[in-house]
Structure 1
Amino acid sequence: MPTLTKLYNLKEAGEHNTRDDCWVVIDGKVYDVTTYLDEHPGGDDVLLNSTGRDATEDFNDAGHSRDAIQLMQEFCIGELDPTPTTPETETLEEKKTNFTEVLMNMTSQYWVVTVAIVGVSVVAGVLYLRKK
């Protein structure tokens, strides 16, 4: 029977950003590295600076050994939840609807500009045809 994996969002993982409670996110997995801070060869600052964001790129750039990657499994407490959880995040459909509403509002507010452009064009056309 498969074990259920706890899901965390990035904000929640980022709240664990102190020496007494430190989590990092690497490759979609969440690691509680609090007990490893003193043992980390790069120092605890490296891990503390990696909280609150996805640290995958930093981890890969450091060139960790296979042993280090295997050691990480001891600290894995869950996975990063792939679904957006912030209220600012909108779906594509909501963005389309918002854009349409904005466009309609602008059109209704600036109809005078459109009428003026058409009016000037008509007057210019009439004047041009009169000269011929």
Structure 2
Amino acid sequence: MPTLAKLYSMEEVSGHNTKDDCWIVIDGKVYDVTSYLDEHPGGDDVVVEATAKDATDDFEDVGHSDSARELLQNFCIGELDKSTPTVPELEIYSKKKQASENTQNFMALSKPYWAVPVVIVGVSVVVGFLCLHKK
């Protein structure tokens, strides 16, 4: 009878994201590669950066050899639970929206400051006219 693979949520996997405790997800499988980090030819930082997300594309982009793929199987601890969301919903963010918000924030901050110089100039003009009419 085959052993059922343990299911892990992406939230659980993403909690293992340090050099001392490193799990990655590739092709729906969860791997605990902590003990391999020191031996990884690309350095441990590359692997740690691939945590907390599906690292399949990163793994494939590098072009790992067949022997690397076989070695990876030694670290498999379970599968990713696909019934839970893998990535939280992200808000779409655009440069136009950011520019518009920045402009509005700038205008809101600058409104109280333009009034003081205008009042000073206005008072100066009135005082100047009063001084000229007294002569």
- CA offset digits 1:49-69 (Å, max 9, x no partner): 000000000000000000000
Q: CA deviation at 1:6?
A: 0.3
Give the corresponding residue for 2:23: 23
Give the corresponding residue for 1:49: 49
* 1:10-89 pair list within 5 angstroms: 10-84=10-84
* RMSD of aligned residue pairs (Cα, Å): 1.5
Q: CA deviation at 1:84?
A: 1.7
Count residues with an aligned counterpart: 88
SS at match of 1:37: helix
Contact 2:6 2:78 in 1 (8 A): yes
Q: CA deviation at 1:4?
A: 1.2
Whole-angstrom CA distance in 2 between matches of 1:42 and 1:9: 27
SS at match of 2:59: helix
- CA offset digits 1:3-41 (Å, max 9, x no partner): 010000111101001111000000000000000000000
Share of identical aligned residues, percent?
65
Instruction: Report the TM-score, using the length of structure 1 for normalisation.
Output: 0.64
Amino acid aligned to 2:24: V
Amino acid aligned to 1:74: N
Give the corresponding residue for 2:4: 4
Amino acid aligned to 1:77: I
Contact 2:10 2:85 in 1 (8 A): no
Whole-angstrom CA distance in 2 between matches of 1:45 and 1:67: 21
Moved over 2 A (4+): none
Q: Name structure 1 gaps, 5 residues minimum.
A: 90-132
Larger radius of gyration: 2
Q: CA deviation at 1:85?
A: 5.3
Q: Name structure 2 gaps, 5 residues minimum.
A: 90-135
